[in-house]
Amino acid sequence: KAGVTQTPRYLIKTRGQQVTLSCSPISGHRSVSWYQQTPGQGLQFLFEYFSETQRNKGNFPGRFSGRQFSNSRSEMNVSTLELGDSALYLCASSGGGSGSTDTQYFGPGTRLTVL
């Protein structure tokens, strides 16, 4: 079974731009969660999608948004990029039976650098 894939793996943007990241979950998984990882901050939960609906949301500003498609693939969008948005963005999928807290299978992440 193929694992979670994320594209692109690396991205460089400038302040004020917007970016879209993509995540393809493990086949059969219906829950996709997004996390932001910065040095010393651990993994900060952004949001979770299940069956095309946002089921859970972290404490991030409205510049961060996402969506999920009928094939469970998910995209995350960040508008009006700020320097502090530079981070590793991780996507994780799970069966979704009890939300994002089933065992999470993480993708390799997208390393976003904002200049």
Partner 1 sequence: GQSLEQPSEVTAVEGAIVQINCTYQTSGFYGLSWYQQHDGGAPTFLSYNALDGLEETGRFSSFLSRSDSYGYLLLQELQMKDSASYFCAVKARMDSSYKLIFGSGTRLLVRP
Pairing of strands 31-38, 10-13: unpaired
Give the residue with the Cβ less far from partner 1, 16 or 42: 42
- Restricted to residues 71-100, the positions that interact with partner 1 (CB under 8 A) are 90, 92, 98-100
Token pair belonging to 1: 């079974």
Give the residue with the Cβ less far from partner 1, 37 or 79: 37
- What is the C-alpha separation between 6 and 1, in angstroms, rounded? 16
Backbone CA torsion sign across 2, 99, 67, 9: negative
Smallest distance, Å, CB 37 to partner 1?
Answer: 9
* Pair 91, 74: CB distance under 8 Å: yes
Site map (CB under 8 A) of partner 1, residues 31-70, x = contact: --x-x----xxxxxx---------xx--------------
Nearest to 90 by CA among 76, 72, 103: 76
Give the residue with the Cβ less far from partner 1, 13 or 43: 43
104: contact with partner 1 by CB under 8 A: yes
- List of residues contacting partner 1 (CB under 8 A): 4, 33, 35, 40-45, 55-56, 90, 92, 98-101, 103-109
